[in-house]
Amino acid sequence: MGILDEAKYQKFMDDDKTPRCQERVWHTMGNWGQSAQCCRAGKAEDDGVWHCKQHSNVEVRRRRKKKGEKYDKEWAAMRLRIHGPHFHGVLEQIANGHNDARELAREALDEFNGGG
């Protein structure tokens, strides 16, 4: 079994009365890695599967939502940085008396919203 003695490992598993988290986690070992069951005690049961606080469905959804909000803000700022000079050029054309300011603005916004 490697570093752990099989008998000690089995005794450790038998002594633990609380269910363990069922999530698989990745451990790196030098240049190699391996997948193993999370060693934390299960705190929440979802459809018969136990998860620790870190791997519970509620916590995972909360972290993903928080990360998604951060990503959305960064994406919006980046798009504005990229398209800002174009919008400035459009405003200059309108200020200089472009004949159809609405059409020029609509084209700029369509390009911005289309991601182009």
pLDDT tens digits along 59-113: 999 999 999 999 999 998 998 898 888 888 888 888 888 888 888 888 888 888 8
What average pLDDT does the segment 27-44 reach?
A: 85
Statement to judge: residues 48 and 68 lie in one domain:
no
**Cα–Cα nearest to 59, from 17, 18, 23, 34:** 23
Final residue of a structural domain among 16, 33, 55? 55
pTM: 0.51
Contact 46, 56 (CB under 8 A): yes
Predicted local distance difference test score (pLDDT) of residue 20: 87
Statement to judge: residues 75 and 103 lie in one domain:
yes
Statement to judge: residues 43 and 4 lie in one domain:
yes
Statement to judge: residues 18 and 46 lie in one domain:
yes
Q: Which domain holds residue 9?
A: 1-55
What is the rounded distance in angstroms from the CA atom of residue 100 to the CA atom of residue 94? 8
Statement to judge: residues 70 and 105 lie in one domain:
yes
Statement to judge: residues 44 and 75 lie in one domain:
no
Statement to judge: residues 84 and 44 lie in one domain:
no
In the 8-state DSSP scheme, what is residue 64?
A: H
> Please, which residues have CB within 8 angstroms of residue 86's CB and are 6 or more apart in sequence?
108, 111, 112
Element (H, E) at 36: strand 32-37
Statement to judge: residues 68 and 99 lie in one domain:
yes
